[in-house]
C-alpha cells in the first residue's frame, strides 16, 4: 500500500475523507508482544526480527511485554477458517464444490468428531457448511471479539509476526491444505500461513505491517501492529517510530 508510514497516513486520510488527527508519541504506550502461540509455528529469524522490533520500541519509551491472548490459539484459528472457507467455497465451480460436499458427507458418516483445522477435510466441511453452521461460527466470533475487547483495555497495541516465515517462493500446485511451507527446515501445512493474521482478520481489527529487517539472503521481514477498533492512526504512529530505528523500507 505504501513504502513509508507517512505515505500510509496520507492515503488513509484520503480514504476516510477526514482531517488527520495529531500524531501520538509512543512514549508510555502499552504494547503486548504476541510471540508464543501454541500450534502456530514461527521461524527463528522471524522471531528474532519481532524481538528486535520490540527492543526498538522500548528505546523510544514504549512498554513492550510478552502477553498471551485471552483465548486459546486453536479456538481462534478454528473459528477463522470456519468463516473463511465458506467465503472461498461460494466462488468455487460447481464440480469442485460438489466434490468437497462428498468429502464432507464422508467425514460426517465416519462418525469422527475430530477435525484438523489445517487439513483438507476441514476445508471440505467448512467450504460447504450450512447457513446454521456459519451462523454458529459468527456467534463464536462475537464471543472472541468481546473477550479481546475486555483484554485490550490494558493495552494500546499488539506487536506480532505477520507470517511464520519470511517471503517465500510462489507455489500453486494442489489445494491449499495439501501444500507445505518450510519453517526452520521443517515442512508444515501451507495453511499455517493463516495463523498470525487470524487475530486481526477474523476479529475485524485494524493492523499495519511495518518493515523491520531482512534475512541474510535479502528477504524482507516485517512486524504486525494490531490495534483496537478505530485505532488506525496510532498504529501508523507506531510504524513510524519503528521506521526511525530500522530505516524503514529497503528494496529486497
* Sequence-distant (≥ 6) Cβ neighbours of residue 119 within 8 angstroms: 177, 189
Q: What is the pTM for the complete model shown?
A: 0.93
Mean pLDDT throughout 203-220? 94
Q: pLDDT of 241-252, one tens digit each?
A: 999 999 888 876
pLDDT > 90? residue 164: yes
Q: Count Cβ atoms within 10 A of the Cβ of residue 171 and give its class: 0-12 exposed, 13-18 middle, 19 or more buried.
A: exposed
Predicted confidence band at 168 (pLDDT cuts at 50, 70, 90)?
A: confident
Q: What does the DSSP 8-state code read for residue 204? A: T
At residue 145, the pLDDT reads 98
Find cell 482478520 and name the residue: 201
**Beta carbons within 8 Å of 205's beta carbon, 6+ residues apart:** 148, 199, 226, 227, 228, 229
Q: Which residue has the cell 511451507?
A: 181
Q: What is the per-residue pLDDT for 66? A: 97
Largest CA distance in the chain: 59
- The fraction of the chain above a pLDDT of 90, given in percent, is 81
Question: Given this model, what pLDDT does residue 130 score?
Answer: 95
Determine the pLDDT at residue 142.
Answer: 98
Class of domain 5-67+155-246 (CATH, top level): alpha beta
Q: Where are the domains of the chain?
A: 5-67+155-246, 74-137
**Mean pLDDT score, 13-21:** 82
DSSP 8-state class, residue 25 = -
Question: Tens digits of per-residue pLDDT, 123-163?
Answer: 999 999 999 999 999 999 999 999 999 999 999 999 999 99
The full length of the chain comes to 252
**Predicted pLDDT at 251:** 77
What pLDDT is attached to residue 16?
Answer: 86
User: What's the pLDDT at 107?
Assistant: 94
What tens digit of pLDDT does each residue of 58-113 get?
A: 999 999 999 999 999 999 999 999 999 999 999 999 999 999 999 999 999 998 88
- Identify the DSSP state of 117: T
Q: What is the pLDDT of residue 82?
A: 97
Amino acid at each position: 500500500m505504501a513504502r513509508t508510514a507517512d505515505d500510509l497516513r496520507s492515503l488513509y486520510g484520503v480514504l476516510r475523507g477526514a482531517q488527520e488527527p495529531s500524531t501520538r508519541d509512543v512514549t508510555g504506550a502499552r504494547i503486548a508482544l504476541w510471540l508464543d502461540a501454541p500450534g502456530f509455528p514461527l521461524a527463528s529469524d522471524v522471531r528474532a526480527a519481532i524481538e528486535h522490533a520490540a527492543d526498538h520500541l522500548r528505546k523510544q519509551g514504549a512498554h513492550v511485554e510478552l502477553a498471551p491472548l485471552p483465548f486459546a490459539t486453536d479456538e481462534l484459528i478454528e473459528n477463522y477458517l470456519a468463516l473463511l472457507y465458506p467465503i472461498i467455497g461460494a466462488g468455487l465451480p460447481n464440480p469442485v464444490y460438489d466434490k468437497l460436499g462428498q468429502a464432507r458427507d464422508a467425514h460426517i458418516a465416519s462418525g469422527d468428531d475430530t477435525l484438523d483445522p489445517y487439513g483438507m477435510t476441514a476445508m471440505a466441511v467448512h467450504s460447504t457448511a450450512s447457513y446454521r453452521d456459519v451462523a454458529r461460527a459468527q456467534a463464536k466470533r462475537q464471543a472472541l471479539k468481546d473477550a479481546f475487547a475486555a483484554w485490550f483495555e490494558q493495552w494500546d497495541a499488539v506487536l506480532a509476526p505477520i507470517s511464520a516465515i519470511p517471503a517465500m517462493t510462489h507455489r500453486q500446485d494442489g489445494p491449499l491444505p495439501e501444500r507445505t511451507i518450510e519453517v526452520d527446515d521443517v515442512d508444515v501445512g501451507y495453511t499455517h500461513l493463516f495463523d498470525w493474521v487470524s487475530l486481526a482478520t477474523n476479529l475485524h481489527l485494524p493492523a499495519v505491517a511495518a518493515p523491520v529487517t531482512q534475512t541474510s539472503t535479502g528477504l524482507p521481514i516485517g512486524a504486525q501492529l494490531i490495534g483496537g477498533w478505530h485505532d488506525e492512526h496510532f498504529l501508523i504512529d507506531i510504524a513510524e517510530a519503528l521506521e526511525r530505528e530500522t530505516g524503514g523500507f529497503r528494496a529486497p
